[in-house]
Amino acid sequence: MKRELLGRTPAILNVGLETLVTGPRAAGAAVTHLDWRPAGDGEPALARALARLTGDARTDAANDAAVAGMLAARPHLVDVELRAEDIWPHLWEGGARLLTHAGAPLPWEAMCEPMKGTLIGAMLYEGWAQDEAEARGRLTAGEVRFVQNHDLGAVGPMSGTISPSMPMFVVRDAAHGNMAYTNLSEGIGRVLRFGAYGPEVIARLQWLGLTVAPALKSALAELEGGVDLRAIQSQALLMGDEVHSRNAAATALFHMAIGGALAGSAYDRARSREVLDFIAGTSQFFLNLSMVASKAIMDAAHGVARSSIVTAIARNGVTTAIRVSSLGARWFEAPSDVPVGLFFAGFAQRDANPDLGDSSICETAGYGGQSLAAAPALVQLVGGTVADAIAISREMHEIAWARNPDMALPNLDFAGAPASIDVRKVVDNGIRPLLTTGIAHRQAGIGQIGAGMVRVPMTCFTQAVMALAERA
């Protein structure tokens, strides 16, 4: 028997450490290597924490309850508030200078350049500085206070900044009554959210406030109950959008939802046309609305004791951070990865800023990377195939606690999208959530340079698992 074995070329099945088979493989052995790692990736404390949580009936039940909240949520766009300070008067009381930003809190010195560019632009828009140098000086001197969007029940794409005179979308979850907010899409090109702050950026912001916001407010006043955002998201998944980085269908559906009401309102005719044509020409117009709908949906899953469901993913351009349903407002943070993608002419991967923006709230609700199978056209844009798109949604299912039957994915034969990321499954399976995203230039003042994909750092999830185990 032994002799027979030695007389043949050995066939080796190896599990775990690949280095063990380097020698035999070099010697010509047929090696099949299984890339298995022990739960917790070999860290004993993490493995113990995971063992305590995995299959824990109370955590499972809590996750079912959190998902039930998500599935019941019915976010509706009910209003446009013309000035953010009318939503949060306390923030800007007595002329206080305060600006919000995406992701977890961080001081001015630590911020990435595109976020600094956005804040400079907001200073100019508010008239708190006359030029870039003055704005930068005041920001550096600590004259402006910063607040993160998520603490206000708000979200904003990329740098995500909200300033007191910006108009805001107002969303109400008709099922639970909770509110959520976001700013309006500025369209494409040089825009504040990507860190640009030139005169055309400020002019666009003023036009948004003076023309777009009152138009949409007029339209919404004609629509009893507002616009059902989740219905639009669900339909758009059947129409080639993953409703994060591709919103072509969702934007068209939103146009249909408000176009008649605006045309029938008393709002100025020429401006009504400007606004409807602006939306028609801005295929990502719905992004902000998909984000705020996702925020309202995830708030309905937040605060369930013992639940291990991720209720927010947010990036400030330096760190990526997650919140977990049962762990309150605490962020679990790690340095952001740099998105890989397709770049506009004249830009390249080396110009890309690390991952930035609150828009990853979409993935926590099951849109974006989780629903990539819905959007082959988006995957094609970054060099992938339909099969890649499908494979990623299947992979994301491995870390989801449930599917959302209202989010049918045609290319998965209409199975519901994987909606509800379970930190236990992320760590146990070693699969990081994939986000679709826009890419900002790493310097201030330039703006968007491409679009692509990125994954959430594993450390966010290992920290969360440890925190959950401590509580359990």
Output the DSSP codes for 17-40. -GGGGHHHHHTT-EEEEE----GG
Q: Does 260 bind its own copies (CB under 8 A)?
A: yes
Bin 158: left if φ > 0, else alpha if -120 < ψ < 50, else beta: left
Q: Does 51 bind its own copies (CB under 8 A)?
A: no
d(CA 296, CA 290): 10
The residue within the footprint of its own copies, chosen from 31, 68, 231, 276 (CB under 8 A), is 276
Q: Does 214 bind its own copies (CB under 8 A)?
A: no
Q: Is 324 helix (H, G, I), strand (E, B) or coil?
A: strand
Q: Does 265 bind its own copies (CB under 8 A)?
A: yes
Q: Does 208 bind its own copies (CB under 8 A)?
A: no
Q: To which H or E segment does residue 408 belong?
A: strand 403-409
d(CA 339, CA 368): 14
Residue 86 neighbours by CB under 8 Å, 6+ apart? none
β-partners of residue 228 are: 76
Piece in contact with its own copies (CB under 8 A), picked from 56-64, 104-112, 232-240, 332-340 = 232-240
CB-nearer residue toward its own copies: 376 or 457: 376
Q: C-beta of 229: minimal distance to its own copies in Å?
A: 16
Under a CB-based contact definition with an 8 Å cutoff, are residues 307 and 301 in contact?
yes
The residue within the footprint of its own copies, chosen from 275, 419, 435, 456 (CB under 8 A), is 275
Q: Which of 329, 353, 84 is nearest to 193 (CA)?
A: 353
CB-nearer residue toward its own copies: 318 or 412: 412
Q: Is 319 helix (H, G, I), strand (E, B) or coil?
A: strand
CB-nearer residue toward its own copies: 105 or 259: 259
Query: What mask, x for binding its own copies by CB under 8 A, covers residues 382 to 401?
Result: ---xx---------------
Largest CA distance in the chain: 94
CB-nearer residue toward its own copies: 122 or 243: 243
d(CA 295, CA 205): 24
Q: Does 243 bind its own copies (CB under 8 A)?
A: no
Q: C-beta of 36: minimal distance to its own copies in Å?
A: 32
Piece in contact with its own copies (CB under 8 A), picked from 134-142, 145-153, 269-277, 318-326 = 269-277
- Give the C-alpha distances (Å, rounded to integers) separating 399 from 233, 396, 402: 22, 6, 9
Query: What mask, x for binding its own copies by CB under 8 A, covers residues 408 to 427?
Result: --xx-xx-------------
Piece in contact with its own copies (CB under 8 A), picked from 93-101, 326-334, 360-368, 405-413 = 405-413
Under a CB-based contact definition with an 8 Å cutoff, are residues 198 and 190 in contact?
yes
Q: Does 18 bind its own copies (CB under 8 A)?
A: no
Q: Does 131 bind its own copies (CB under 8 A)?
A: no
Q: C-beta of 427: minimal distance to its own copies in Å?
A: 33
Q: Does 261 bind its own copies (CB under 8 A)?
A: yes
The residue within the footprint of its own copies, chosen from 120, 253, 289, 453 (CB under 8 A), is 253
The residue within the footprint of its own copies, chosen from 61, 210, 280, 329 (CB under 8 A), is 280
In the structure encoding, which two tokens stand for residue 141, read together? 């001197």
Residue 470 neighbours by CB under 8 Å, 6+ apart? 49
d(CA 342, CA 82): 35
Residue 373 carries which DSSP code? G
CB-nearer residue toward its own copies: 90 or 269: 269
Q: Does 380 bind its own copies (CB under 8 A)?
A: yes
Helical spans, DSSP H, in 248-315: 248-264, 269-280, 287-299
Q: C-beta of 205: minimal distance to its own copies in Å?
A: 21
Q: Is 407 helix (H, G, I), strand (E, B) or coil?
A: strand
CB-nearer residue toward its own copies: 81 or 388: 388
The residue within the footprint of its own copies, chosen from 16, 105, 198, 259 (CB under 8 A), is 259
Q: Does 273 bind its own copies (CB under 8 A)?
A: yes
d(CA 76, CA 66): 20
Amino acid at 313: I
Q: Does 248 bind its own copies (CB under 8 A)?
A: yes
Q: C-beta of 411: minimal distance to its own copies in Å?
A: 6
CB-nearer residue toward its own copies: 46 or 412: 412
Under a CB-based contact definition with an 8 Å cutoff, are residues 193 and 282 in contact?
no
In the structure encoding, which two tokens stand for residue 246, read together? 């591709």
Residues that bind its own copies (CB under 8 A): 222, 235, 238-240, 248-249, 251-253, 255-257, 259-266, 269-270, 272-277, 279-280, 376-377, 380, 385-386, 410-411, 413-414
